[in-house]
Amino acid sequence: MPFWHVLGAGSLGSLWATRLARAGVPVRLILRDSARLKAYAAKGGLTLSEQGQRQTFDITAQTLDDPQPIQRLLVACKAYDAQSAVASVASRLTPGADVLLLQNGLGSQEAVAASLPDLFPPPRCIFVSSTEGAFRDDDFSVVFAGQGANWLGEAHQGLAPVWLDELVAADIPHQWGPDILERLWRKLALNCAINPLTVLHGCRNGELQKRAAEVTALCDELVAVLECCGQPKAAVGLHQQVDQVIRATAANYSSMHQDVAQGRRTEISYLLGYLCAAAARHGCQAPLLDQLRERLIDHLKAQGLPSD
């Protein structure tokens, strides 16, 4: 059975690695350097907390420059790190290797795909849209915070891979389908309708219910942009779903709000930034989204955070 090489032992990478290891699936963690390898060794493994239970898995880790060939790579870095991280292990990929991309938003997937080595058969890029939730409560320790789904697929609609059975064994919810791009666009639009406003208003998701006019105007523009960018299916019922997400997650702070509050870089370039650039490329007017992006960039700069 080929190894799953998990690149990035952060929240989602750890969530996948520990569940695979728990099912007896062979896993290797790829850490950025020997300092991180040492820190990992000191912890004695990767810990998963689920429903109050903590369990540590002694998963073997290696650095980017380890010589072991990679047949199956799970890229679990942030969108802004994905391309350079994959480039660091590109020479280890075997012909026909599977490269699974867990990144939120759009743009990083294309960047990774374009930089994969020229092999025959070529590496296969698989996009994942995840609604599972996880956070780190300590270095190399992850809390499984929200049940969800993982939608998997290829831009060019390939056959379902045989290793989906290993996800079944590991109890990782998943669905393989032909509509992964539509799902990524839809999730991107939901994010653009909610997350930037929660950052600018410094509020939980639920407080956007008091700003219904602002949300409605944004949704109307988002629908027009999706249609103009050739993603009409991702636009269907968008406003209703935005309202539903706001209600269902009323007590939560959005991921972008959490990033800003904790002084972390956001993925703005792969979310609102990507959407505004796509609208401009298609000659589609998006004045509200452009203005929202400018306000968000000003806000990030004022907080001393990167605005890209």
Report the SS3 class of residue 126.
strand
Stretch that binds ligand NAP, among 21-29, 81-89, 200-208, 283-291 (CB under 6 A): 81-89
> Is 210 designated active site?
no
Residue 39 and residue 29 in contact, taking contact as beta carbons nearer than 8 Å:
no
Contact range with ligand NAP by CB under 6 A, out of 11-19, 43-51, 111-119, 175-183: 11-19
**Near ligand NAP by CB under 6 A, which window of 52-60, 128-136, 157-165, 241-249?**
128-136
Residue 208 makes CB contacts below 8 A (sequence gap 6+) with 194, 197, 198, 201, 214, 215, 246
Residue with smallest beta-carbon separation from ligand NAP = 10
Instruction: Choose between 13 and 196: whose C-beta lies nearer to ligand NAP.
Output: 13
6, 8, 97, 235: which one contacts ligand NAP (CB under 6 A)?
A: 8
| 10 scored as a contact of ligand NAP (CB under 6 A) | yes
- Is 33 or 165 the residue whose CB approaches ligand NAP more closely? 33
Contact 79, 273 (CB under 8 A): no
Q: What is the 3-state secondary structure (H, E, C) of 207-270?
A: HHHHHHHHHHHHHHHHHHHHHHCCCHHHHCCHHHHHHHHHHHCCCCCCHHHHHHHCCCCCCHHH
Residue 156 neighbours by CB distance under 10 Å:
8
Buried b (16+ CB within 10 A) or exposed e, 88-114: ebbebbeeebbbbbbbbbbbbbebbbe
Kind plus residue range of the DSSP H or E element containing 281:
helix 272-281
Residue with tokens 């992006």: 293
Please say which residue, 69 or 232, places its beta carbon nearer to ligand NAP: 69
Residue 100 is a binding residue for ligand NAP (CB under 6 A): no
Beta strands in the chain (DSSP E): 4-7, 27-31, 46-50, 53-57, 61-63, 70-75, 93-101, 124-130, 133-138, 141-146, 150-153, 175-176
Residues 261-300 that bind ligand NAP (CB under 6 A): 267
Subset of residues 141 to 200 that bind ligand NAP, contact rule: CB under 6 A? none
> Looking at 76, 112, 167, 218, which residue binds ligand NAP (CB under 6 A)?
76
Least Å distance, CB 141 to ligand NAP, is 11
Query: Is residue 81 part of the contact set for ligand NAP (CB under 6 A)?
Result: yes
For residues 130 and 231, which CB has a smaller minimum distance to ligand NAP in the complex? 130
Closest distance between ligand NAP and the C-beta of residue 286, in Å? 23
Helix, strand, or coil (residue 166): helix
Asked if 11 interacts with ligand NAP (CB under 6 A), we say yes
| Candidate list 43, 78, 187, 210, residue with the active-site label | 187
Query: Distance between CA atoms of 63 and 71, rounded to whole angstroms?
Result: 16
Of residues 26-55, which lie at the interface with ligand NAP (CB under 6 A)? 30-32, 36
Site of interaction with ligand NAP (CB under 6 A) = 7-13, 30-32, 36, 64, 76-79, 81, 84-85, 88, 102-104, 130, 132-134, 136, 267
- Residues tagged active-site: 187
